[in-house]
């Protein structure tokens, strides 16, 4: 089974930053991380950890977890199950 990680929706984060006029340096300072960690997360070189997620949600209380984060790296078996269910007849064909 593949490891399931948490990804961040960069476009949502950048919109939130823009709305609050926060530079990357200012945001990093607000959430208590080094600018380099924020940069690595925004460029996909690192994944957000629990502490980063919790602090980011504190800085932007108006958003929900699912608005800015998503699960990634689904296991192969789970992807196959989704594909199989997608191709199953629903019983509504030909109506």
pLDDT score for 1:
52
Task: Please report the domains of the chain, with CATH numbers, ordered by start residue.
Answer: 5-87 (1.10.260.40)
pLDDT class of 83 with cuts at 50, 70, 90 = very low
Give per-residue pLDDT as tens, 39-73: 999 999 999 999 999 999 999 999 999 999 999 87
Q: How many CA atoms lie within 13 A of 41 on its CB side?
A: 27
Q: Which residue has the higher pLDDT, 12 or 81?
A: 12
Q: What is the dihedral of CA 57, 45, 39, 49, to 10 degrees?
A: 30
């Amino acid at each position: 089974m593949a490891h399931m990680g948490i990804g961040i929706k960069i476009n949502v984060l950048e919109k939130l930053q823009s709305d609050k006029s926060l530079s990357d340096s200012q945001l990093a300072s607000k959430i208590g991380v080094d600018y380099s960690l924020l940069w690595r997360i925004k460029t996909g070189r690192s994944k957000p950890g629990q502490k980063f997620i919790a602090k980011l949600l504190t800085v932007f209380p108006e958003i929900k977890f699912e608005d800015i984060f998503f699960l990634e790296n689904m296991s192969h078996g789970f992807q196959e199950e989704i594909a199989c269910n997608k191709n199953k007849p629903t019983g509504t064909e030909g109506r």
